[in-house]
């Protein structure tokens, strides 16, 4: 904590020291008398020049900077340095010095806040500038600073314009045109041929004609230089020499689209006039002053011709026709080719403020010019206006970052409209004003992104809807397959026998088949739900009967039944399987009819044959009852036969009860077998 307090203390002391205004006195520099002396001497020399006026500020600045190196914390010196910079090409540098001067001594001057605002303005810090302009209103001296006070509303307006324009910057590249053209000296006023193959410009470099310096403005006199574009690059600039360039100021104004004529500016001892020169071969003719209708005793500084050469646009300060300050004027040629009296181009373009550097695009209808009015963001801004059927459109600010809070002038544009050239003082320059290329990128080119979605769910996450046909209930095979081989009981010879299928209940023949003659095999399908009688017959054999009583519920079954047919021989026995009685009774059931009729047919077929009908039971129940029942059943058959015309003499009957089983009595199937009616051939 203690350490913290000490640190804060030192910070405070340090801050106080930094923010303390240091006078150039021995109290502040007790140990460097020589340095102090030299600094004071520099200030004294600087002040002399400073007092001579604005044009001497660059010279004063050099002395002031020497003193500044010795003592950077003097409010007054910083203020003066700020003023010098403010009136130089390096305007923006004024800010740090005004700021320091204000920080060191807020009341250093009544106009310090105004200049601080100008600094912010030049730095395009719009809101801070506006705040300082407003603050300056109460600090400026109403008499001495009246001109500054008068400027403030316009300057605030410029800041507001700047804020708006900066929000929508134009898409341009602003590139220093390079060292082939630019030097540490000022270069400005570029003019180009329509095809951009040649550029003329003004420079105040150290090899200008005469090599003299302008004592009033400072710097070398202006000369015109030329550079050519070869293989996409500008060649090193050359001074175009006499007769264009003289020891006085000779500056570019405009070049005709074909590059064969040029307007140049000559100072004419402050008068400022427009001259015309033509290119003959490789030589420019001696410049001729343009008609006195154009050039007046006022200052004419800029001019350009319409593509047909019949209309001249120029800038003049002539007061008789001016809306305010420098204005743009128009003159046309009469029938004899003389310039007629110019007229002001009009208040759509000209403002109460200055207009400068007029340039008519090769399209003949788009005029570019610089103006301090309209919605300038500070100093001269470049505007364009289009002439539609003789009416100029409302000038349009070329926008940020082409225009800046400082002066933006001498703009020319290629015929394609793709590139412009102008001079500007920028951080990436070579020291003074340089010529820059403006490449117009056109409207914003939107970037194209690609996206995709999964709009159709089933394509991204397929859900297989399987339409499987449902299972079926497997049909119960309610069929009994009866198959086997039919042979002769004695010889085992296969027989082609007739198989008669009878519905015993309905007493109907359902079908008649034959066994295979070659194999004796047969197969009969018996759907459940019937009481089947099966009679197997073959010529010369006793018929063979089988019974299959298959209820509806009877499941699939296969029965192999080999049948041996017996000859019609004495002693042969045939079981009559389709003769039925009710349980425990001896009354023939109707289902027996078919079998009985078959037996009757057999007896009729062999009239001599005598047979015994015998009844048999299983071993259940008493023997006596079984015997009685079997006998009664045999008698019932005989009675039926007799009733159907068979002689009783041919028939015998007997009940054997359980005594002659043909199968085991231990199973139901066996017992079923044993319960039967037979006949036996007694004689034939």
Partner 1 sequence: MIKKLLTCSSLLFHMLIYAQEMVVISDTTSENYRKSQMSYNEGIQYLQNKQFQQAIDAFTQSIQLVANFDKAYVNRANAFYELRDFKSARSDLKTAIELNPNNENAYQLRGDIYMAENKNDKAKNDYKKSLELNPNNAHCLYNLGVISFIEQDYSAAIEYFTNTIKVKPDHAYAYNDRAGAKRESGDLDGALQDYNQAIKLDNKLSFAYNNRGTVKRRKGDFKGAIDDYTKAINLKPDYYIAYNNRGSAKFDSGDYDGAIADFTQAIKLKSDYAFAYNNRAAAKFKLKDYRGSISDCNEAIRLDPNYGYAYLNRGTAREMLREFDKACQDWQKASELGVTNASKFLLDCN
Binding site for partner 1 (CB under 8 A): 173, 175, 416, 418, 439-443, 445-461, 463, 465-479, 481, 510-511, 513, 516, 519, 521, 523-525, 527, 556
DSSP 8-state code for residue 525: E
Q: Smallest distance, Å, CB 495 to partner 1?
A: 16
CB of 548 to partner 1, least distance (A): 14
Helix, strand or coil for residue 18? helix
- Rounded to 10°, the helix 112-122/94-104 angle is 140
CB-based contact 586:629 (threshold 8 Å) = yes
In the complex with partner 1, the residue whose CB is nearer, 472 or 643, is 472
Residues 21, 24, 30, 32, Cα dihedral to 10°: 120
| Least distance in angstroms from the C-beta of 154 to partner 1 | 36
Question: Does residue 243 have a cis bond before it (omega within 30 degrees)?
Answer: yes
Name residue, tokens 């045999």. Answer: 634
Minimum CB separation from partner 1 for residue 505, in Å? Answer: 15
Shortest reach from residue 198's CB to partner 1, in Å: 21
Write down the least CB distance from residue 631 to partner 1, Å: 40
Tokens, residue 90: 């390096």
Nearest CA to 276 out of 246, 299, 255, 298 is that of: 255
Q: Which is nearer to partner 1, 452 or 624 (CB)?
A: 452
Q: How far is the CB of 180 from partner 1 (least distance, A)?
A: 17
215-236 burial code (b ≥16 CB/10 A, e <16): eeeebbbbbbbbbebeeeebee
Nearer to partner 1 by Cβ, of 9 and 556: the residue is 556
Q: Judged by CB, which is closer to partner 1: 428, or 668?
A: 428
> From the CB of 672, what's the least distance to partner 1, in Å?
25
Q: Which is nearer to partner 1, 49 or 501 (CB)?
A: 501
The nearest distance, CB 590 to partner 1, in angstroms, is: 22
Closest to partner 1 by CB, 280 or 447: 447
Query: Minimum distance between the CB of residue 542 and partner 1, rounded to whole angstroms?
Result: 25
Scanning 168-314, the segments in alpha helix (DSSP H) are none
Q: Which is nearer to partner 1, 473 or 582 (CB)?
A: 473
In the complex with partner 1, which residue's Cβ is closer, 1 or 461?
461
Residue 566: phi, psi to the nearest 5?
A: -105, 145
Nearer residue to partner 1 within complex by CB, 5 or 461: 461
- CB of 457 vs partner 1, minimal distance in Å: 4
The three-state secondary structure class of 46 is helix
d(CA 350, CA 371): 8
Helix (H) or strand (E) holding 434: strand 434-440
- Asked, as a colleague might, if the bond just before 401 is cis with ω within 30 of 0, I would say yes
DSSP 8-state symbol, 469: P
- Cα separation, 280 vs 98, whole angstroms: 53
Nearer of residues 468 and 643 to partner 1, judged by Cβ: 468
| Residues whose CB falls within 8 Å of the CB of residue 445, separated by 6 or more in sequence, listed in order | none
According to DSSP, the β-strands at 479-488 and 557-560 are parallel
Which residues, at least 6 apart from 504, have a Cβ–Cβ distance to it below 8 Å? Answer: 530, 531, 532, 533, 547, 549, 578, 580, 591, 592, 594, 595
Residue closer to partner 1 by CB (options 286, 521) is: 521
C-alpha of 372 from chain center? 45
CB of 441 to partner 1, least distance (A): 6
Nearest to 378 by CA among 125, 122, 131, 149: 122
Q: Which of 509, 505, 511 is nearest to 531 (CA)?
A: 505
Contact 120, 36 (CB under 8 A): no
Nearer to partner 1, 282 or 465 (CB): 465
Q: Whole-number minimum distance, CB 554 to partner 1, in Å?
A: 12
Q: Which is nearer to partner 1, 51 or 459 (CB)?
A: 459
Task: Answer for the pair 105, 97: CB distance below 8 angstroms, yes or no.
Answer: no
The C-alpha atoms of residue 104 and residue 381 are separated, in whole angstroms, by 34
Min dist. Cβ of residue 497 to partner 1 (A):
14
Smallest distance from partner 1 to CB 121, Å: 28
The DSSP H or E segment spanning 270 is none
Sequential DSSP letters for 323-364: SSSSEEEEEEB-TTSPBPPPEE--TTT--SS-EEEEEE-TTS
Least distance (Å) from partner 1 to the CB of residue 244?
33
Other C-beta atoms closer than 10 Å to the C-beta of 635 total 17
Least separation in angstroms between residue 474's CB and partner 1 is 4
Locate the DSSP E strands across 608-657: 610-616, 651-655
What's the number of CA atoms in the CB half-sphere (13 Å) around residue 201?
34
Phi-psi region at 621: left, alpha or beta (left = phi > 0; alpha = psi -120 to 50): left
Alpha helices in 387-502 (DSSP H): 457-460
């Amino acid at each position: 904590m203690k350490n913290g307090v000490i640190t804060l203390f030192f910070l405070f002391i340090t801050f106080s020291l930094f923010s303390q205004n240091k006078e150039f006195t021995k109290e502040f520099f007790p140990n460097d008398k020589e340095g102090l002396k030299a600094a004071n001497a520099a200030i004294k020399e600087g002040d002399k020049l400073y007092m001579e006026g604005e044009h001497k500020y660059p010279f004063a600045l050099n002395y002031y900077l020497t003193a500044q190196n010795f003592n950077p914390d003097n409010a007054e010196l910083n203020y003066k340095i700020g003023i010098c910079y403010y009136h130089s090409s390096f305007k923006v540098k004024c800010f740090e010095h005004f700021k320091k001067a204000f920080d060191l001594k807020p009341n250093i001057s009544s106009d310090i806040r105004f200049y601080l605002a100008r600094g912010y303005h030049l730095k395009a810090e719009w809101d801070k500038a506006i705040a300082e302009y407003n603050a300056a209103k109460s600090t400026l001296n109403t008499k001495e600073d009246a001109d500054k006070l008068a400027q403030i509303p316009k300057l605030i307006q410029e800041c507001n314009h700047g804020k708006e324009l900066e929000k929508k910057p134009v898409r341009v590249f602003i590139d220093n045109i390079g060292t082939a053209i630019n030097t540490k000296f000022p270069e400005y006023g570029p003019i180009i041929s329509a095809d951009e193959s040649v550029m003329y410009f003004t420079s105040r470099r150290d090899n200008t004609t005469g090599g003299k310096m302008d004592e009033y403005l400072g710097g070398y006199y202006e000369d015109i230089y030329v550079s050519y574009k070869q293989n996409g690059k500008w060649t090193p600039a050359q001074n175009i020499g006499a007769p264009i360039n003289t020891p006085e100021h000779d500056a570019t104004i405009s070049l005709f689209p074909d590059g064969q004529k040029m307007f140049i500016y000559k100072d004419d001892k402050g008068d400022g006039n427009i001259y015309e020169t033509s290119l003959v071969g490789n030589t420019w003719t001696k410049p001729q002053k343009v008609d006195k209708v154009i050039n007046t005793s006022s200052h004419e500084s800029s001019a350009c011709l319409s593509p047909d050469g019949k209309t001249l646009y120029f800038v003049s300060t002539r007061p008789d026709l001016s809306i305010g300050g420098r204005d743009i004027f128009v003159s046309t040629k009469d029938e004899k080719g003389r310039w007629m009296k110019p007229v002001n181009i009009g208040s759509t373009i000209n403002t109460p403020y200055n207009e400068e550097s007029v340039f008519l695009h090769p399209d003949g209808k788009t005029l570019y010019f610089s103006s301090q009015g309209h919605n300038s963001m500070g100093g001269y801004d470049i505007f364009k206006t289009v002439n539609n059927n003789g009416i100029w459109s409302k000038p349009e600010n070329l926008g940020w970052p082409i225009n800046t809070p400082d002066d933006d002038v001498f703009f020319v544009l290629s015929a394609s409209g793709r590139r412009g050239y102008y001079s500007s003082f920028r951080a990436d320059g070579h020291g003074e004003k340089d010529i820059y290329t403006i490449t117009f990128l056109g409207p914003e080119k939107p970037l194209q992104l690609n996206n995709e979605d999964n709009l159709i769910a089933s394509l991204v996450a397929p859900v297989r809807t399987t339409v499987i046909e449902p299972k079926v209930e497997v049909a119960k095979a309610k069929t009994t397959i009866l198959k086997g081989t039919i042979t002769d009981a004695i010889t085992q010879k296969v027989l082609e026998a007739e198989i008669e299928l009878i519905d015993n209940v309905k007493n109907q023949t359902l079908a008649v088949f034959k066994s295979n003659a070659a194999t004796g095999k047969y197969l009969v399908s018996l759907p459940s739900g019937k009481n089947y009688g099966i009679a197997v017959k073959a010529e010369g054999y006793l018929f063979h009967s089988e019974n299959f009583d298959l209820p509806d519920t009877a499941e699939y079954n296969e029965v192999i039944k080999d049948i041996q047919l017996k000859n019609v021989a004495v002693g042969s026995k045939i079981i009559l399987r389709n003769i039925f009685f009710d349980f425990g009774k001896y009354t023939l059931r109707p289902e027996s009819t078919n079998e009985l009729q078959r037996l009757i047919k057999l007896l009729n077929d062999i009239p001599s044959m005598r047979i015994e009908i015998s009844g048999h039971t299983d071993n259940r129940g008493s023997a006596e009852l079984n015997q009685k029942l079997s006998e009664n059943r045999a008698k019932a058959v005989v009675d039926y036969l007799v009733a159907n015309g068979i002689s009783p003499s041919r028939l015998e009957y007997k009940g054997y009860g359980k005594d002659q089983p043909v199968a085991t009595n231990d199973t139901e199937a066996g017992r079923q077998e044993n319960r039967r009616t037979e006949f036996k051939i007694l004689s034939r």
